[in-house]
Structure 1
Amino acid sequence: NWNPWINSNWLTVALLKEKDETKRLQAVGKIMKSLDVFIDSYPRDGGCDEGPGYWNRAGASLFDCLELLYRATDGEITIYNEPLIGEIGRYIYRAHVADEYFINFADASAKVTLESDLAYRYGKRIGDENLSGFGAYFAARQQQQGRTFWGSIARQLPAIFNFAELTTAESKQPLLRDVWMEGNQVMAARSKQGSTEGLYLAAQGGHNAESHNHNDVGNFIVYLNGLPMIIDVGVETYTRKTFSAQRYEIWTMQSTYHNLPTINAIMQQEGREFAAKDVRYTMDDDFAQLQLDIAEAYPPAAKINKWTRTLRFNRDGEIIISDEFDLKRKTKDIELTLMTGCKVTANKPGKIRLDYIDKNSDEPPASLHVFFDAEKLTPKFETIPINDNHLKAVWGDKITRLLLQANS
């Protein structure tokens, strides 16, 4: 995101302040070449491996640049008709779960503050009513929260002039039933199109050298009625350590604090070679499914020949996670992690209940039942206090790490 973000500021200054026409043309030409490098790095489906929180300064900053070029040349310089430009814009609603919640693999937060005016104008430019309506939806939410204009002045000024149109435009959450972004190997499925009711599953393959990477190949999240039940914790407030050689000493970066197996006490490892293999996505009106081999996301010390994870979303109201594996030596040192911000209750063998906590209600607005084979797995619970303000704003004071430990 540094590429379009920096270029958007540089382009603004070059257009407004550079009086020498030759120097101005040279600057604009260099900026356009630099933006081409950014655009060419994207997969054809427009997926952003930095996550939806960074879209505000990745795809959205690209839009800032394209708008400046479009307006400065009276529409002579425009690439809005290029398919990839449209897909980069559409990514943000493809990654949307419900209301303020988004798919938050890697360093993304589960709650995202969308640049609503910018999303609206992006949608208008590419002729996508889902995107423009999505921007209008968030604008209405933000007005209710007393937030109207924020961000850089280069964004506030267009937002002021567009305010009357934005606040009277038709708003909507697209809430796509199915999403598959092959470039980053991210899938999502919900019970029905256009509704937050029922279950929602998002899962990923990919590799462990993505932008703002976590070691999380094969990770997944589950929502019920638009509320987070099985979660990706996200990332704490950035520190020097976050972008150092010690990054993966931070617990939120480690696979054992994602919804993944830990084998022989060995976690996944960072690096491009630690990746999913044999990734297969299938979908129809009855189900959506992602199947992948995550064995190579672990170092050789884990002693894994093959680990096939299948994540199946049945639209009749269940999600099935199955792991089939072949190890190089027998072991019962296997743990399956599930992270949750819910209240956890385990009163019966093979069954755990997750209740979403609503401080304003005595009854949980969503309850999820997790079933497992009690003869093969024993549950263990760890409470993780949240002291970081960034995470606390999303999950509150604590979360729970549920471990399903192999019996044999």
Structure 2
Amino acid sequence: MNDKRTRWMIFVIVALMLPASAYGRQGRFKLGELVPQERIQQVLLSRDQWRPWPKWSERQAWEGLPAEVRKDLIVGGEAYLGYDWPALPATLFLEFARNGNRSRYEREHFARRSALTALAIAECVEGKGRFLDDVANGVWALCEESFWGVPAHIGAQKAGSGLPDYDEPIVDLFAAETSESLAWTSYLLGERLDTVSPLIRRRIALEIDRRILTPCLERDFGWMGFRGGRVNNWNPWCNSNWLVSALLIEPDEGRRVAAVAKIVRSLDHFLDAYEDDGGCDEGPGYWGRAGASLYDCLELLHSASDGAIDVYDRSLVQEIGRYIYRVHIADRYFVNFADASARVGIAASLVYRYGKSIGDEKLMAFGAHAFAESGGMAEAFEGKPGYGIGRYLAEIFGAAEIERANAYAPLVRDVWMDGIQVMTARDREGSTKGLYLAAKGGHNAESHNHNDVGNFIVYVDGKPVIIDIGVETYSRKTFSSQRYEIWTMQSAYHSLPTIDGVMQAPGSQFAARDVRYKSDDRMAQLRLDIAGAYPEQAHLKSWVRTITLNRGREVTVVEDYALTQPVGQITLSLLTPCRAEVRKPGQILLSPPDVNAASAQVTYDAATLAATIEVIDVEDGRLRSVWPEQIARILLTAKKPALKDTWTFKIEPTNP
């Protein structure tokens, strides 16, 4: 077997999957049982009957869009008139296999798709044929690509990494996305494309069938969940795009029904992977293609069955939607455990619609709030074409409604998701003022896992003070057997202890023990034993960490540990984007990089712990989009590590 393919498979199994005992929930509803293939055959609208959005020919709908929306969409298309479609040569594709770089190919790949979206939508809005030739060029350029996906995902083919094997179509995230965009382009413009050439729509249908429809029906790709193992955001993301492609393009009604039925069964594997609390262990940045893509699927099923397939009253579906406002901190800051970024731009229209579908006023208001914060209808479509057309259509035709909606950020005071063992707490409901704390238990085989059992973050007045830095720009190393060689994945660069250089280890067996949560009007607290997250070389008998938000006062962390034998060094790490200064033994002042005065301080027992400050240069582009040029790593080191001890340190605002 190809070595690269073997490493890729090992990582998918070990780093991203849970053991079989963690899923297959008892008593859960099953989409496949609620709507078996026989039921789908009865309720599914035919291709001719299903009209999810107005086609180009339905001029009243397109010309009835708000004037500012129409203007921005036409200007967006004009930017691509006469577009020089970027080349995707073999050597650019090979960069991932040769040096691990995936960004340069992806930049050109996604640019092509964003251009097609902008051109197709502009033609629908204006309706004069001015954009048609460029749309045709874009469609043809995509159809001529050997592989619609990206180099980082080609390792699933029998030939392994390198160039794509034309004879073995692999359905990855972006092959499915491309299919969705082409399917919508064919649906929207229809006979208008025939005026350029009747072969264009035929080519779209042929390529979608060869690359997506037939392979997905005949093969069980790993993301589908039929092979076992825990699926992640790939499942609803790929399924949503396959579903669009089948509903819009598949000419054979029998195969069309079979595709929908298989998608429904596959989605059950995604739902089975979720705890009842609806928590997304991949983090809020991935919720946009996890829970949100589940919603894409459910909306397509609801629409294509004329409402007959409706599971919005199911608790799990509702909880998955609510997750996104439960982990919101302030502005664009979200709780960012795992690979998620601390700053997230949410799909405002989708969040609003999800809330509307499940009858959740807070979720609707949060979507409307995000829409308003992004500039509202006046700016929502200004130079912002997505590369997927389906969600874009919903944004376009829903803009007027969301503009009028009640908009606010719920800013929930307390959240405890016991399934994924994540807590969040703030001083008071509905306000970003004061302290905010988030902490986690869990295990070290979560999706997009970092070795971070027991990690916590702290914000003051909506600004980060103690952080989880997130993840660097993805490379070949990120999803390989070398993942935990990357510093951002290691427990030593989270709010966690390191014992004689021994950090936490990856795997589901490395988990929190005896996890307890409680909250009231005065405090919120997470208590857990994190010793189980460390290998035997750490010589830990127990490490009970108690993290408490005392509302309006401070965050207190109590470390109560016991070793099985003496060790030479124990160090606690804290990362901060602030300037950190040891003002005196026992006190570290934290000053935001753009403010002269300190906003918080860390206090500790100077008789027991010694503090040092490391400065880390932030050079990666993905991290720099969130954090300043430098962050500080605070190291609290035990002066004389005892076999058993209790330490306490606090994070508190300087102006509570």
TM bucket normalised to smaller? over 0.9
Partner of residue 242 from structure 1, selected from 478, 483, 488: 478
SS of the residue corresponding to residue 47 of structure 1 reads coil
Partner of residue 291 from structure 1, selected from 520, 527, 536: 527
Q: Contact between 2:582 and 2:589, CA under 8 Å: does it hold in 1? A: yes
Q: Deviations over 1:269-316 (max 9, x none)?
A: 001100000000011111110000000100000101010000011113
Cα distance in 2, alignment partners of residues 338 and 391 from structure 1: 17
1:36 corresponding residue in structure 2 = 268
2:442 corresponding residue in structure 1 = 206
* Partner amino acid, structure 1, of 2:282: E
Partner of residue 86 from structure 1, selected from 309, 318, 325: 318
Matches within 5 A, 1:183-202: 183-202=419-438
Cα distance in 1, alignment partners of residues 265 and 394 from structure 2: 25
Partner of residue 163 from structure 1, selected from 391, 399, 407: 399
Cα distance in 1, alignment partners of residues 265 and 258 from structure 2: 11
1:40 is displaced (CA, Å) by: 1.5
1:173 corresponding residue in structure 2 = 409
Cα distance in 2, alignment partners of residues 370 and 11 from structure 1: 52
Cα distance in 2, alignment partners of residues 308 and 332 from structure 1: 20
1:398 is displaced (CA, Å) by: 1.0
TM-score after normalising by structure 2 = 0.61
Cα distance in 2, alignment partners of residues 394 and 32 from structure 1: 37
Matched, 1:102 2:334: yes
1:147 is displaced (CA, Å) by: 4.3
Cα distance in 2, alignment partners of residues 164 and 291 from structure 1: 47
Partner of residue 348 from structure 1, selected from 572, 581, 584: 584
1:263 corresponding residue in structure 2 = 499
Which runs of 5 or more residues in structure 1 are unaligned? none
Q: Deviations over 1:130-165 (max 9, x none)?
A: 101000111111126944354310100111110000
Cα distance in 1, alignment partners of residues 533 and 615 from structure 2: 27
More helix by share: 2
Cα distance in 2, alignment partners of residues 322 and 28 from structure 1: 52
Cα distance in 2, alignment partners of residues 242 and 118 from structure 1: 29
Matched, 1:217 2:453: yes
Which runs of 5 or more residues in structure 2 are unaligned? 1-232, 641-656
Matches within 5 A, 1:89-168: 89-143=321-375, 146-148=379-381, 150-151=385-386, 152-168=388-404
Cα distance in 2, alignment partners of residues 191 and 114 from structure 1: 24
Q: Which moved more, 1:326-335 or 1:34-43?
A: 326-335
1:341 is displaced (CA, Å) by: 0.4
Partner of residue 17 from structure 1, selected from 229, 234, 249: 249
Cα distance in 2, alignment partners of residues 136 and 105 from structure 1: 25
Cα distance in 1, alignment partners of residues 385 and 350 from structure 2: 11
Partner of residue 383 from structure 1, selected from 615, 619, 628: 615
Cα distance in 1, alignment partners of residues 407 and 630 from structure 2: 34
SS of the residue corresponding to residue 243 of structure 1 reads coil
Cα distance in 2, alignment partners of residues 274 and 387 from structure 1: 31
Cα distance in 2, alignment partners of residues 301 and 191 from structure 1: 39
Q: Deviations over 1:215-271 (max 9, x none)?
A: 000000000000000000000000000000000000000000000000111000001
SS of the residue corresponding to residue 137 of structure 1 reads helix
* Partner amino acid, structure 2, of 1:81: D
Matched, 1:232 2:464: no
* Partner amino acid, structure 2, of 1:11: L
Cα distance in 2, alignment partners of residues 374 and 37 from structure 1: 51
* Partner amino acid, structure 2, of 1:357: P
Cα distance in 2, alignment partners of residues 158 and 114 from structure 1: 14
Q: Contact between 2:335 and 2:438, CA under 8 Å: does it hold in 1? A: yes
* Partner amino acid, structure 2, of 1:385: D
Q: Contact between 1:308 and 1:324, CA under 8 Å: does it hold in 2? A: yes
Partner of residue 62 from structure 1, selected from 269, 294, 299: 294
SS of the residue corresponding to residue 25 of structure 1 reads helix
* Partner amino acid, structure 1, of 2:271: I
TM-score after normalising by structure 1 = 0.97
1:357 corresponding residue in structure 2 = 593
| Structure with bigger gyration radius | 2
2:538 corresponding residue in structure 1 = 302
Cα distance in 2, alignment partners of residues 35 and 326 from structure 1: 44
* Partner amino acid, structure 2, of 1:335: T
Q: Contact between 2:434 and 2:552, CA under 8 Å: does it hold in 1? A: no
1:357 is displaced (CA, Å) by: 2.3
Q: Contact between 2:593 and 2:628, CA under 8 Å: does it hold in 1? A: no
Question: Aligned residues, how many?
Answer: 404
2:282 corresponding residue in structure 1 = 50
Cα distance in 2, alignment partners of residues 182 and 163 from structure 1: 36
4+ residue runs over 2 A deviation = 144-151
2:639 corresponding residue in structure 1 = 407
1:369 corresponding residue in structure 2 = 601
Q: Contact between 2:435 and 2:552, CA under 8 Å: does it hold in 1? A: no
Q: Deviations over 1:88-110 (max 9, x none)?
A: 00000011111100000010100
SS of the residue corresponding to residue 527 of structure 2 reads strand
1:330 is displaced (CA, Å) by: 2.3
SS of the residue corresponding to residue 311 of structure 2 reads coil
1:21 is displaced (CA, Å) by: 1.1
Matched, 1:397 2:629: yes
1:74 corresponding residue in structure 2 = 306
1:331 is displaced (CA, Å) by: 2.9
More strand by share: 1
Percent of residue pairs identical: 57
Partner of residue 563 from structure 2, selected from 324, 327, 340: 327
Q: Contact between 1:104 and 1:234, CA under 8 Å: does it hold in 2? A: yes
Q: Contact between 1:332 and 1:407, CA under 8 Å: does it hold in 2? A: no
Q: Contact between 1:332 and 1:406, CA under 8 Å: does it hold in 2? A: no
SS of the residue corresponding to residue 120 of structure 1 reads helix
Cα distance in 2, alignment partners of residues 119 and 192 from structure 1: 24
* Partner amino acid, structure 2, of 1:372: Y
